[in-house]
Amino acid sequence: MGLLHKLLNSKKAERFRRTLAIKSGLYFRLKRMGPSASGDLRVAKLLQHHQIKWVIDVGANTGQFAESLYDFGYQGRVVSFEPVSGAYQLLLERSGQYPAWSVAKRSAIGNFEGEIQIHVAADSVFSSILPITREHVQTKPQSRTIATETVPIARLDRAVKDYLPADAKDILLKIDTQGYEKEVLEGAPELLSRVKGLKLEIPLHTIYDNTKLTFYDTLEMLRKQGFSPYSIGVEGVDPATGRVNTIDGLFFRES
């Protein structure tokens, strides 16, 4: 395996892969499985290192994040929140295979209690309370809005009480709400004060109208809250320009 790995990752092999990728649109590279090769494995290892026992998964979509944690050996509890009806049904099906994975009542999470309208995208991962920009839809047609739904909305500090014991510790809060992260955090000051880790999407170039938490705002907020960066991953890229729209950051408070 060592010799094969060296041959496949030599400079000549790399140039061949680039040439093939340019002509075919496909890029192949053999890498030994590890935290540097897999972002999902890296996250799971960091949760193990920080002894995370609870994951609050806000903006779960169909459960991709939680399932990847369990695939890589996570042993703790997950509580998922998702507002879009189609994604919610798939989330319920996916979570049913895992006894430690709970799905909260269908609801958006924000900074008030009531109802709100959500834009449902052709590819549900782009669904958001905020309208997506025309510019991004032109780049990625699958992000276009195809429907709207009126859904309940709740503050996370209240909503999580039905699922998270008051004395729960070693918590990771994951927020993936497509530009609505600031509103989620505004509704969760008590929970945020006691979480050990925070995983959230950070915009470098906003693709949703009225996004309030900018890149620099996010970094300053995290610094003030005592979080240090442990992992950064690229989430969304403009295929025409190469510009990174969104990064995914994982931060922990130092013990």
What is the DSSP annotation of 94-126?
HHTT-TTEEEPPS-EEESSSEEEEEEEESSGGG
Report pLDDT digits (tens) over 212-229.
Answer: 999 999 999 999 999 999
What is the value of pTM for the model shown?
Answer: 0.88
Determine the pLDDT at residue 4. Answer: 47
Task: Round to whole Å and give the CA distance between 184 and 111.
Answer: 6
Answer for the pair 216, 244: CB distance below 8 angstroms, yes or no.
Answer: no
Residue 62: strand pairing partners? none
Determine the pLDDT at residue 3. Answer: 52
Determine the pLDDT at residue 29. Answer: 62
Superfamily of domain 35-107+160-253: Vaccinia Virus protein VP39 (3.40.50.150)
Higher confidence at residue 98 or residue 1?
98
Write down the mean pLDDT value for the chain: 91
pLDDT at 28 over 90: no
Q: Please list the residue range(s) of the chain that carry CATH number 3.40.50.150.
A: 35-107+160-253
Higher confidence at residue 117 or residue 16?
117
Report pLDDT digits (tens) over 172-210.
Answer: 999 999 999 999 999 999 999 999 999 999 999 999 999
pLDDT at 255 over 80: no
Mean pLDDT of 121-144: 95
